[in-house]
Structure 1
């Protein structure tokens, strides 16, 4: 009887130990789940996106743009199949459209020379040149569009047409005084540069074409 009681006591102790271990594991699991929820919820609530500029630099491109011109060019692009030098009917494709073109003119900084003698600042300017010609693609207006399935205008032909449009825009801008205006406006733009170093009440600036 006494042996039986001892055996029952051992079983009871084993049950209590197992129960204690199970409770600890359960509490640990609950704690891990709670911690995970806190971390997840915490990340969701405290997330902050930051952007930082680590490097910022400007490079001197060596160009001084002093005048710009906005030209609207109308272009006609045509294509057709030919037989013995004559266009075959129903093979003609034709586009009539316009684009706005922005043309900038100015000087190369490296070609501008100046010197100061007896309170006269002599600035030698080279000939003004076109610095850039850009087509405003959003300005396209189509006036006529007729494309034949037998002779479509190719991408290469379209690119050549746009290149010709840019050349015509440059010619029109130059013929309307773009380069002359660029030269005259250069005096207005360059004067403040010298004004920072010289008292223009005592010094005179003289601009000369090379």
Structure 2
């Protein structure tokens, strides 16, 4: 049976790991939770995985650090990202885009950019839209986990708009009903559409983390 002292020590280690992981994420990108957690654990010498924080705890620590150390700068940066996201969503409206990821959760920076999820019969349709707009892109892929337990990859087309990286995930239309899991909440990541984002900006919620959509 775990003693009270052991539980307290484990909770303290979780907090320390969460904040160290958040610090690493702030430097390297807000989506690599597992890599940051493992790196933080190695730095702090905490090997008992029962005392490791989950993604939600790390995300909360990251939000807390950003709001504590650079609240005004981060709020302005986040608002700018969301305005750029809205512009991109309107540009690619035919693909029913939804804002997902750190720009929606409230932890993104300009360097990390924005993530949009687009839906199409085939990725080539999005490629044609990029070509029509003469937007140079780089192609990659993202691993997606689903509530059913399946793991799939989807293409990602990345480009820079002004100085902001934009990442377009392309999923089939049926994924609108059963979207992949959010890495933080472990629930289907539905994101928000352009109208919802416009309402968020109009309401002055630029600096708020959005959780209701997950």
TM-score interval for Structure 1 and Structure 2 normalised by the shorter chain: under 0.3
Larger gyration radius, structure 1 or structure 2: 1
TM-score w.r.t. length of structure 2: 0.22
TM-score w.r.t. length of structure 1: 0.22
**Structure with greater proportional strand content:** 1
Larger RCO (alpha carbons 8 Å, 6+ apart): 1
**Structure with greater proportional helix content:** 2
